[in-house]
A and B are shown apart, each in its own frame.
Chain A
Amino acid sequence: MKWRLLHTLLVGLVLAGIVHIVIIFLIPKYGTRDAWAFLSSRTDQFSFTRLDNNRSGNAIAETDPFFAYGICRFDLSENGVIIQGQKSSTYWSASVFNDSGTVLYSLNDRTAIDNLPYMVIVSPVQSLELREIQPAELETSVVIEANTRRGYVIIRVLEPDSSYRDASQKFLGGISCRPYEPQPDLPPQDAASEADSTGEDGKSK
């Protein structure tokens, strides 16, 4: 009898362990409160959207009120994504997330090339392609290999008080986010004019 009780308890404990592990692993996949669930219904893919910090109904919990945020959601199944923007006078940083909210890569104004928010995110397969084609972006941008299909980039810029608001909004407004198809490196003068035109493009958005 005693042994039977012990046996039951032991089976129960093992089961508890399994249930515990299963719950912990399933929460990121099936949770409805996470940032992805909130963002996917409110932002478009491949378009850089500013998040209004002060508007009620901002379900992203615990955002830092001293920062302004922008987000770009992407899907790497067909194309990579290219993010380009202007310099900022205040501190900015960016993180690449997969759809379960894990940070895959992060950078800040100091670690970015020329302090510019300029990055290309590709899947491992596209990364191989990229190395074969050797496009101009490989030299000037931060190339991030993301092992995920869907994900998002969040760029935050410091806005210590409302007097910085214009500058931070201009910085976020100047960021473009587009699908990326690597093009072979062009001769120097063409490459320069290409870079110019994309810069213009980013500004007008």
Chain B
Amino acid sequence: MDPANFTRQISGTLVALAIGLGLGGVSAWYALQQSHGLGGISVGEWAAWPFTGGKDADPYTVAKVARNGTIPLGATEGLAFEARVDNQGRDLDLACDYSVSGVTPPSKLWTIVAYGRGGEPVTPSPAGTSSLYSGDVLRFPDGSFRINVSRRPRAENWLAISGSGTFHLVLRVYDTPITSTTGLARPQMPVIIRGECHE
């Protein structure tokens, strides 16, 4: 074999290897970062992974659960919806006010919690709480609700956040029929609308 051809072949192999490892690694990382899409269902800005259990568990969801170190809810327990962006696709920011309004899928109870980047609940601003439980939420006569997410005290339902950076909301519906009848009409979820942003 002539040497020029040989080097060409070696460099070709190296390029193929680099593409393989680089692209493979990046795409795997990206697939797990994605909050929407792979292995999940999405409703507006909310995403959920109902197929974390049993034979239906898809490898992406399993890997995501292991990587994030969470304990998923079983289908009979409930379903967790996660939102990382508002209704216009902008990242949720602790410096901004948000209103989360609408209805949740039918369930025995639900909770909504603001989590920081590391997966710990956001430290609430004084006198507030960064998590709400359906039993304590004030509602409009038609059963819908509005939750005001803000660093400053708010009337009605106040989800108190503090600090800066991005955060995400997790709405968990417990004992809900939607997990046993997926494929049914899309669940109704509240809308997240950004208000004022403060510095």
Contacts and interface: CB of A to CB of B under 8 A. Distances in A.
B111 interface: yes
Interface stretch (A78-86, A125-133, A152-160): A152-160
A89 B16 CA distance: 62
Nearest to A65: B131
Given A12-B20, A16-B24, A103-B52, A33 B66 contact: yes
A25 B131 contact: no
Given A18-B24, A62-B68, A93-B77, A24 B131 contact: no
Interface in A1-58: 4, 7-9, 11-20, 22-25, 27-28, 31, 33-35, 38
Contact of A35 (B8, B17, B71): B71
Interface in B58-97: 59-60, 62-63, 65-78
A93 B68 contact: no
A47 to B, nearest CB: 18
Interface string A97-141: 100111111111011000000000000000000000000000000
Given A19-B24, A66-B131, A108-B77, A28 B115 contact: no
Interface of A (DSSP majority class): mixed
Interface stretch (B116-124, B144-152, B154-162): B116-124
Contacts of B136: 160-161
Interface stretch (B40-48, B169-177, B181-189, B190-198): B169-177
Chain A interface residue bracket vs B = 35 or more
Interface residues of B, number: 56
A35 B71 CA distance: 7
A60 B27 contact: no
B98 to A, nearest CB: 19
B63 A104 contact: no
Contacts of A110: 108, 175
A97 B71 contact: yes
Given A15-B20, A103-B72, A23 B25 contact: yes
A59 B69 contact: yes
Contact of B71 (A20, A22, A60, A105): A60
B77 A102 contact: no
Contact of B53 (A62, A64, A94, A104): A104
A8 B12 contact: yes
A169 interface: no
B174 to A, nearest CB: 6
A79 B20 CA distance: 45
Q: When A and B form their complex, which 5 residue pairs have the shortest distance between CB atoms, in order from nearest? A: A106-B74, A19-B24, A15-B20, A12-B19, A61-B119
25 contacts: A7-B12, A12-B23, A13-B20, A13-B23, A23-B28, A25-B59, A28-B65, A31-B66, A34-B66, A35-B69, A62-B68, A62-B115, A64-B111, A65-B113, A93-B76, A93-B78, A95-B72, A97-B71, A101-B62, A101-B66, A103-B52, A103-B75, A106-B53, A107-B77, A154-B71
